[in-house]
Amino acid sequence: MVVVTTTADVPKSLPLLFLGRDTDPHSERGVECPGALPPASDPNLVERARKAKAALGDKVFVLGHHYQRDEVIQFADVTGDSFKLARDAAARPDSPYIVFCGVHFMAESADILTNDDQTVILPDLAAGCSMADMARIQQVEAAWDALADAGIADVTVPVTYMNSSADIKAFCGRNGGVVCTSSNAEVALNWAFERGEKVLFLPDQHLGRNTAVLELGLSLDECVVYDPHKPHGGLTSEQLAAAKMILWRGHCSVHGRFTAASVDDVRARVPGVNVLVHPECRHEVVTKADLVGSTEYIINTLDAAGPGSSWAIGTELNLVQRLAKAHPDKNIVFLDKAVCYCSTMNRIDLPHLVWALENLVAGTAINTIKVDPETEKYAKVALDRMLSLPGKSLRD
């Protein structure tokens, strides 16, 4: 955990690293890799990765998130979304080293769900998630105080998306809440509304709003947005009292960039196209799309699609390009020409993977992710509540 002093009123303790901040001398620390990071121009990187992985054998288990680069994915033992990968890691108790090719909050979840004697490695510590960074524990605790001031904390259940830091998950565990994924957000919200009158949904306002309105049938007026940068979230006590869904003002820097105009444009460009988007997209994008679902749902839908069908996909570009390559009999395009890769996911590249693996061969585990025991205990409470939720929603 890095403590930085900002221009804000109090020092902020950041679970993740802000990139390129000159006020934070430790920023970019994962990029430096003192003395040993292979140059990206090294023509032997693929061979080096192969050799190191072979030398480690079953001692290492490499996880690759769907949004990772091809150069990294080729070395993954399993691929998946963040929750599937954490479960895959937990199912490999005999592998002492888990190399997580993904972002920081995913490696934290893997550490929480694996045994204490397993070591989780994130090849580049600067691979954070801008969405997860948008909800910091001090801000969430201040928001909870604001809900208490408004007299509604005891009827509010906190629900956090998997894409959040371990201390936000722990906050939910301590306060009767739960973790959800994009696959089971509907089930998690129903669970929460059986236990309270309101939900504080962290940190992705779009997943919260899309699920509440499209799956649970709430109205947009029943959703309010809590802005952590404004006193009392920028909301009056009356607005908080009237709301059912209190949405944290966070979003994904990739999915949040697709617009309703992107959907109109692709429909004009590609005749008969089916628009399929992730629920982290804005509400106006999701309502204009033909289908919405998690990355696993997107992959399964395209697997089942007929030859010759046309698809515009609104999710991270690495995955869309891989799906287009895997289905040459279908016309698969990216939803928007201007949206780019997830820059933090792309921090994990082949040089960092080689660096991590070769260090393991030499007996050194670099960039290890360890969640402190108290945070782990309560984060696990919230994760275990999710695991015991009945069934799954339709879009797994």
Binding-site annotation: residue ranges:
65, 82, 129, 161-163, 182, 252, 278-280, 295, 342
Give yes or no for residue 253 binding ligand SF4 (CB under 6 A): yes
- Beta carbon nearer to ligand SF4, 81 or 186: 81
Spatial separation of the C-alpha atoms in residues 376 and 165, rounded to whole Å: 11
- Contact status: 124 vs ligand SF4 (CB under 6 A): no
Query: Is 371 in contact with 122 (CB distance < 8 Å)?
Result: no
Q: Compute φ and ψ for 12, nearest 5 degrees.
A: -110, 135
Asked whether position 130 contacts ligand SF4 by CB under 6 A, the answer is yes
Find the binder of ligand SF4 among 68, 344, 346, 375 (CB under 6 A): 344
Q: Is residue 103 near ligand SF4 by the rule CB under 6 A?
A: yes
At CA 145, angle to CA 141 and CA 151, rounded to 5?
145
Q: What is the Cα–Cα distance from 239 to 246, expressed in whole angstroms? A: 10
Which residue, 196 or 203, has its beta carbon nearer to ligand SF4? 203
What whole-number distance in Å separates Cα of residue 66 and Cα of residue 63? 10
Q: How far apart are CA 213 and CA 52, in angstroms?
A: 49
CA within 13 Å, CB half, 308: 0
| Interacting residues of 11 by C-beta distance below 8 A, sequence separation 6+ | 3, 4, 5
Asked if 131 is part of the footprint of ligand SF4 (rule: CB under 6 A), the reply reads yes
DSSP 8-class letter at 37: P
DSSP label at residue 251? -
How many residues lie near ligand SF4 (CB under 6 A)? Answer: 13
Q: Does 16 bind ligand SF4 (CB under 6 A)?
A: no
| Alpha-helical regions (H) of 251-316 | 260-269, 283-288, 295-304
Q: Residue 380, SS3?
A: helix
Please tell me whether residue 342 binds ligand SF4 under the rule CB under 6 A.
Answer: yes
The answer to whether residue 162 forms part of the interface with ligand SF4 (CB under 6 A) is no
Residue 252 binds ligand SF4, judged by CB under 6 A: yes
Region near ligand SF4 per CB under 6 A, out of 177-185, 217-225, 246-254, 301-309:
246-254
Regarding 129 and contact with ligand SF4 (CB under 6 A), the answer is yes
Residue 185 in the binding site for ligand SF4 (CB under 6 A)? no
Q: Does 332 bind ligand SF4 (CB under 6 A)?
A: no
Q: Which is nearer to ligand SF4, 130 or 262 (CB)?
A: 130
Q: Which stretch binds ligand SF4 (CB under 6 A): 206-214, 281-289, 339-347, 380-388?
A: 339-347
Non-local (6+) Cβ contacts of 94 within 8 A are 58
The site for ligand SF4 (CB under 6 A) is made up of 67, 103, 129-131, 163, 252-254, 316, 342, 344-345
